[in-house]
Amino acid sequence: MSNQPQCVTLGLAPSFGFGDRIGLATPGHVEAMNRSANGIEPIFPQQSIREMTRTQRTAQQVMDDALNGAKAAGWDGCIGADADHLKTPEDVDVTAAVGFTFFTIDPSDDVDQQADDYSEATLREKFESARESASWYDTYVGSSIGLPTGATIDLSEEACMRAAVKYGPAIKRARGMGDYIKSVHDAKGLDYEIELSVDETDQPTTLAEHYIIADQCLKGGMKLVSLAPRFIGELEKGVDYKGDVTALEASLNDHAAIADLLGPYKLSLHSGSDKLSMYAALARATKGRFHVKTAGTSYLEALRVVARHDEALFRRIVQFGRERYDVDKATYHVSATNAAVPTDDGLDAKKLEQLYRAGTTDSALHVRFNADRSGTRSGRAIRSGIASGYIHRSSRRSFQSASGSSGCRDVGQRPETNS
């Protein structure tokens, strides 16, 4: 395609990932950048392999939809491209072949999710098996590292054993994936950058775990530009942060201090849609060195448009979603329940309001409750409405109050320790 924008690496610049699962929302994302970016760089093509599979889209389609949408909307700035939640070399091959530049490694399949709850006896037993994949154990055990925040990373025997049991195989997998990503791009002479995702766990990432994971990946030569810990509190897609924001900011300060000490690299917020109460805290803690990954808001705005313009289609979407919910929720952090909801024509606004007030509806039905029934059903109206799903205005002030402005071309450099 002639004159199509090309994706680049964004380095340590503050960045925002706009997940678009239906391929129509990029013009709205461009509008969000035009109104609110203030030095934040965009990642428009962003999709995980699991989401491509579920939506039956190819990596090439994701790339083309985002870049064509950006071009049509007049975007002439930098664009990053996130190949999200990669688990196998084949995932890397598929996404690298079409020009993705930001590779998010997801080693969650190798994480022992029960490690935090093991008794001492069970932990020691598990450790004997994990020791082979955690040759780094003796390097850290018994150490103590002070941070500028006043916090101390206590690498006690227990902390290191739990890290080995919980993350030993995952670190090994992540390093292997990092090596493969490097080999693919070195062979083509292309630039790339890596994000490591360790957020998909039941328990928050401890400072000791963060330190060991990042240190091992960097020592292995990984071109790490961003790391996503599992933060304290609850982070569900499409809703605000649930938890003590003051405690969160203190924790963010500690994690950001580790990122400064070892990298520097960015702290990444996953499931970042509508986390309005924590954006400013993230920007302050990282001094503007952050990445935010979103997808939920754009999809909910799309549902809102469908509900307003094609009620029959909306009902089909809701019914399909409810049929799939109990299976698909296994790969997302959500708390909504699949409660019984009427599906006949009696599901009017009054009943939806009653169900919503009772807490039995999911996000899609909440959208329907807030939607009116007027308007055309034309595809053009739906496409236009989806494109208008820009970032909520209140998020602008949060980012702008705490992050500095630096253009893509000025922040692409990384320290030698990250190369």
Cα 369 to Cα 300: distance, rounded to the nearest angstrom: 13
Of all residues in the chain, the percent with pLDDT exceeding 70 is: 79
Do residues 200 and 106 touch, judged by C-beta distance below 8 A? yes
Residue 299 pLDDT grade (very low, low, confident, very high; cuts 50, 70, 90): confident
Rounded Cα gap, residues 401 and 343, in angstroms? 45
pTM: 0.82
**Mean pLDDT calculated for residue range 105-132:** 96
What residue has token string 């996503």? 228
pLDDT of residue 210: 98
Per-residue confidence (pLDDT) for residue 339, from 0 to 100: 62
Sign for the pseudo-dihedral over CA of 59, 60, 66, 69: negative
Determine which of 113-127, 212-226, 231-245 has the lowest per-residue pLDDT on average.
Answer: 231-245
- Delimit the CATH 3.20.20.70 region(s) of the chain: 15-297+392-418
Backbone φ and ψ for 81, nearest 5 degrees, come out as -140, 120
Per-residue pLDDT at 340 = 55
- Whether the predicted pLDDT of 121 surpasses 70: yes
| 3-class SS of residue 144 | strand
Q: Which of 17-21, 217-221, 243-247, 257-261 has the lowest mean pLDDT?
A: 17-21
Region 151-168: mean pLDDT is 98
pLDDT tens sequence across 24-35 = 999 999 999 999
The dihedral through the CA atoms of 93, 67, 54, 331 has a sign that is positive
CA distance 159 to 140: 10
Write down the mean pLDDT value for the chain: 84
In the set 41, 65, 193, 195, the catalytic residue is: 195
DSSP for residue 234: B
> Which has the higher per-residue pLDDT, 245 or 363?
245
CA-CA distance, 172 to 110, in Å (whole number)?
9
Q: How confident is the model at residue 334 (pLDDT cuts 50, 70, 90)?
A: confident
Of 91, 118, 101, 58, the residue nearest 173 (C-alpha): 91
The mean-pLDDT minimum among 3-7, 100-104, 181-185 falls in 3-7
Q: What percent of the chain has pLDDT over 90?
A: 70
Gap between the Cα atoms of 282 and 288, Å rounded: 8
For residue 348, the model assigns a pLDDT of: 53
- Whether 84 sits among the annotated catalytic residues: the reply is yes
Please compute the mean of the pLDDT values over residues 209-233 and round it to a whole number.
98
Point out the catalytic residue in the list 20, 65, 82, 84: 84
Give ∠ CA 151-206-105 in degrees, rounded to 5.
130
Contact residues for 283 (Cβ-Cβ < 8 A; gap 6+): 14, 290, 398, 399, 401, 402, 403
Question: Is-catalytic flag, 195?
Answer: yes
* The CATH number of domain 15-297+392-418, selected from 3.40.50.1820, 3.50.50.60, 3.20.20.70, 3.10.20.30: 3.20.20.70
CB 332 within 8 A of CB 108: no
User: 356 or 204: whose pLDDT is higher?
Assistant: 204
Q: Nearest 5 degrees, angle CA 29-CA 32-CA 38?
A: 125
Match 């091959």 to its residue by tokens.
Answer: 93
